[in-house]
Amino acid sequence: MKKIAVYPGSFDPVTNGHIDLIKRALGIVDELVVAVVENPEKKPLFSVEERKKMLEEVTKDLENVRIDSFHGLLVNYAQKIGAKTIIRGLRAISDFEYEFQMALMNRKLNMEIETVFMMPSAKYSYLSSSMIKEVVSFAGSLCELVPKVVEERLKEKLAKK
């Protein structure tokens, strides 16, 4: 039986930290669905379609990665695509409390789906999409923080504002 996992997130924008987790998750599952969460509560810089397109571009050379989007409950989406595992990244202690609560709620909603927490590589442990947007808004260097295509899209997007 094929091991399918879902790696959900806003990916606004995708960072090298996200890509690091995607590559490492492929070492423990047969197929990884990277799913952009459609969250009406957040005001993303990029549309869902733009985020999906960037993810497709930066993962095009990775086998067994599929890009998708969803709204609603994560466990319902996971069940729909046949995923038995949710991959979540933990950068710091501050991430843990929220992620722990979400994992417990997801288990309550569907006991057949497990959450696996992965630590980023040390060089990405401080990296967040919010931080990337702040750095680029002040014309800071994004070298080694995001793929080149993402940096270009960020600069294009912010130039229009």
The domain that holds 110 is classified in CATH as 3.40.50.620
Task: For 95, list phi and psi in degrees, rounded to 5.
Answer: -75, -30
Among candidates 9, 7, 8, 11, which has minimal Cα distance to 154?
11
pLDDT of 161 = 64
The count of domains in the chain is 1
- Residue whose structure tokens are 């992620």: 99
Q: What pTM value is reported for the model?
A: 0.94
Report the distance separating Cα 69 and Cα 51, nearest Å: 9
Domain that includes residue 111, residue range: 4-160
Report the distance separating Cα 71 and Cα 106, nearest Å: 15
Give, for all 161 residues of the chain, the pLDDT tens digit: 899 999 999 999 999 999 999 999 999 999 999 999 998 788 899 999 999 999 999 999 999 999 999 999 999 999 999 999 999 999 877 788 899 999 999 999 999 999 999 998 999 988 888 899 889 888 888 989 999 999 999 988 887 76
Give me the active site residues, please: 18, 42, 91, 129
Among candidates 85, 79, 21, 10, which has minimal Cα distance to 48?
10
